Amino acid sequence: MAKKFGKFLMFTAVAGAAAAGVYYYLQNKNSSCSDDLDDDDFDDFSDDLDSDTEKGDSTRNYVDLHLEKAENAASDAVNHLSDAATAAADNAKTIAKDAVNNAVETAESKVEEFFDDDNDNSI
């Protein structure tokens, strides 16, 4: 009985999903994407640009560019970052070396304790 009810429930769910898909397709069959774009309100900003130039807006200030200063600053920044990266790598190397040495010493002492305990029990 439970198998028949489960099959009936599954059939009902599939039939409902198919019906919903057909309904959605039929509702949206006539609408298309191109129709949606026609309804959008696109602003034309070219008129605004023409009116700004007609006013004769000559109060704008310009800044001189000093390329040599920018190149020197970039070079200094690269040198500084290179030095910092080298120092960080050296520091990481030292820390890793110390951690490995500590791990080796701990492992050696644990192995020595294990074999010492093993020898004590056999006596």
Q: Return d(Cα 21, Cα 1) in angstroms, integer.
A: 30
- Structural domain including 107 reads 92-123
**Is position 101 within any domain?**
yes
**Is position 121 within any domain?**
yes
The predicted structure's pLDDT at residue 64: 80
- In a 3-state reduction of DSSP, which class is residue 28? coil
- Distances, alpha carbon 61 to alpha carbons 53, 67, 68, 99, in Å: 16, 19, 22, 60
**Is position 38 within any domain?**
no
The predicted structure's pLDDT at residue 76: 93
**Is position 23 within any domain?**
no
Q: How far is CA 120 from the centre of its chain?
A: 58
The predicted structure's pLDDT at residue 35: 53
Spans in the chain with pLDDT lower than 70: 32-58, 117-123
In this structure, the chain runs to a length of 123
Domain count, the chain: 1
**Is position 97 within any domain?**
yes
**Is position 26 within any domain?**
no
The predicted structure's pLDDT at residue 38: 55
Q: Return d(Cα 119, Cα 105) in angstroms, integer.
A: 21
- Distances, alpha carbon 57 to alpha carbons 44, 47, 53, in Å: 21, 16, 7
**Is position 115 within any domain?**
yes
